[in-house]
Amino acid sequence: MGAGLLRKLRAARPIITHLPVVALAFVWRTLMFRTTFIAVTGSLGKTTAKDSLAAILSRVGPTLKTEGNTNGRRGVPSTILKVRPWHRFAVIEAGTAQPGNLYRASLLIRPDVVLILKVARVHSNYLKTLEAVAHEKAHMLRFMRRNGIAVLNADDPHVAAMAPAARDRVVWFGDSPDSHVSASDAVSDWPERLRFVARRGQESRLVTTNFVGAHFVNSLVGAMAAAIALGATLEQAADAIAEVHPYQARMQPVILPNGAVMLRDDFNGCVDSFDAAMEVLRRARARRRILIISDCSDSKRTPRDRLKGFVRQAQGCAECLVFVNERGQFGREYAIRSGMPPDSVHAFVDFQEAAGFLRTELRPGDLALLRGRMSDHITRLYYALNGDVACRKVACSKHSCDRCPELGFRPFAEAPEPQHVA
């Protein structure tokens, strides 16, 4: 056997191994014809929308949802295989990293309802433009079943342009009163949580949530619109959302042993979610506001220009700036030249050094925003503030530190387990 052919077989092995599960999921989906399948996709906010939609629909009938954010090539078929005949609804999150992934996901799910949230700059190594991202997201409508419902974001022109591909019924959500379900008067000033007014026709309801940041309105109203299209009431939707909590590392508030509160936003480091996180920090009421950042992804700017951008943002939002970046010293020098006090800007090469500083620097009443690219594994800094972390890898291909067996987290003996803020 030639060396070239052997390499191709080895490369194809994960796909070949995966094929029986995909085929089984395809058949199983056909058998579950009594269950309404809802696909949730979008560049940002999918997991929040999926959890919220499932919470609402569970008040209407038995509902299954994607566990966590297992929304990829393996997660979609495994979720389908968990559907049972007694499930009235199956809410399936579908994500993509490469062109064609959502085409295949649509073929597997064959959704009765598709919820598309937003088009943003993500996975830019494969999807170079917003138009490419939109084209990929629109694939989810490709195999929507007859008489299906497309629930689309009226405020996003790229999503709104997908309406002709829906073929059947379109339900709109957004800020506009002309949307089937709209939102207005959104307020989220820490320590208060997000609240807004949801409207459906002449009916309105104040929605109180556990989320931090007005940018979550898009996901929540989208979930409400999809649920209402499937028979839920506005009251059921508002009551259910009030009980949903932020997903791990998506603007998730946690109390540190030193009494400070950290907003963990370390899962998705894309540049288009950075502005929303900084707006939360800008509007927050706290003794001190601290930005802790490694870098952001999906930006076309140079590393140094990105650091300059972080400084400019922090000047209007934070009293303290902490870089965890091999180029962080450049960012610190630029911040000082830009007028920030030297004792308010700090730079560290790795998470261990930063954690050692922050353990003594943070105080009760402080609010720290943790941001970073997934590839930076800045999540380890959060755990290092709560205990010892064994992992010292500089490069790692794994996506999440939270469930990684190599993290090796041991909480400090004198400190409580990491606590979420109620």
pLDDT above 50 (res 11): no
Of residues 396 and 298, which shows the higher confidence score? 396
Helix (H) or strand (E) holding 25: helix 3-31
Quote the CA–CA distance of 109 and 210 in Å, as a whole number. 30
Paired residues of 369 in beta bridges: 263, 291
pLDDT band per the 50, 70, 90 thresholds, residue 375? confident
Place of tokens 């509007």: 283
Share of the chain above pLDDT 70, in %: 92
User: Where do the domains of the chain lie, and which CATH numbers do they carry?
Assistant: 3-241 (3.40.1190.10), 252-417 (3.90.190.20)
Position 5 scores a pLDDT of 42
**pLDDT tens across 320-366, in order?**
999 999 999 999 999 999 999 999 999 999 999 999 999 999 999 99
The CA-atom distances, in angstroms, between 19 and each of 10, 23, 24, 80 are 15, 6, 9, 14
Mean predicted confidence (pLDDT) in 386-405: 86
Mean predicted confidence (pLDDT) in 289-297: 93
pLDDT band per the 50, 70, 90 thresholds, residue 413? confident
Strand 113-116 vs strand 36-41: parallel, antiparallel, or unpaired?
A: parallel
Least confident range from 319-323, 385-389, 413-417: namely: 413-417
Position 376 scores a pLDDT of 87
Position 96 scores a pLDDT of 79
Position 299 scores a pLDDT of 76
Nearest alpha-carbon partner for 380 in 396, 365, 360:
396
Mean predicted confidence (pLDDT) in 181-195: 97
Contact indicator for 349, 368 with CB cutoff of 8 Å: no
Gap between the terminal Cα atoms of the chain: 61
Position 402 scores a pLDDT of 86
Position 126 scores a pLDDT of 64
Contact indicator for 214, 277 with CB cutoff of 8 Å: no
pLDDT above 70 (res 14): no
Mean predicted confidence (pLDDT) in 120-131: 72
Quote the CA–CA distance of 209 and 192 in Å, as a whole number. 10
Angle at 298 between CA 265 and CA 319, to 5 degrees: 45
Quote the CA–CA distance of 277 and 284 in Å, as a whole number. 11
Mean predicted confidence (pLDDT) in 85-102: 90
Mean predicted confidence (pLDDT) in 219-226: 98
Position 124 scores a pLDDT of 54
The CA-atom distances, in angstroms, between 144 and each of 165, 167, 331 are 10, 9, 48
Task: Tell how many helices (H) and how many strands (E) occur in the chain.
Answer: 14, 18
> What's the mean per-residue pLDDT of the chain?
90
Helix (H) or strand (E) holding 181: strand 181-187
The CA-atom distances, in angstroms, between 203 and each of 171, 206, 215, 225, 303 are 17, 11, 23, 13, 49
**pTM confidence score:** 0.90
The CA-atom distances, in angstroms, between 351 and each of 115, 135, 213 are 38, 38, 26
pLDDT above 70 (res 17): no
pLDDT above 90 (res 90): yes
Share of the chain above pLDDT 90, in %: 72
Mean predicted confidence (pLDDT) in 167-176: 92
Separation of CA 119 from chain center: 13
Position 16 scores a pLDDT of 40
3-state SS record for 236-278: HHHHHHCCCCCCCCCCEEEECCCCCEEEEECCCCEHHHHHHHH
Position 132 scores a pLDDT of 85
pLDDT above 50 (res 106): yes
Quote the CA–CA distance of 339 and 369 in Å, as a whole number. 21
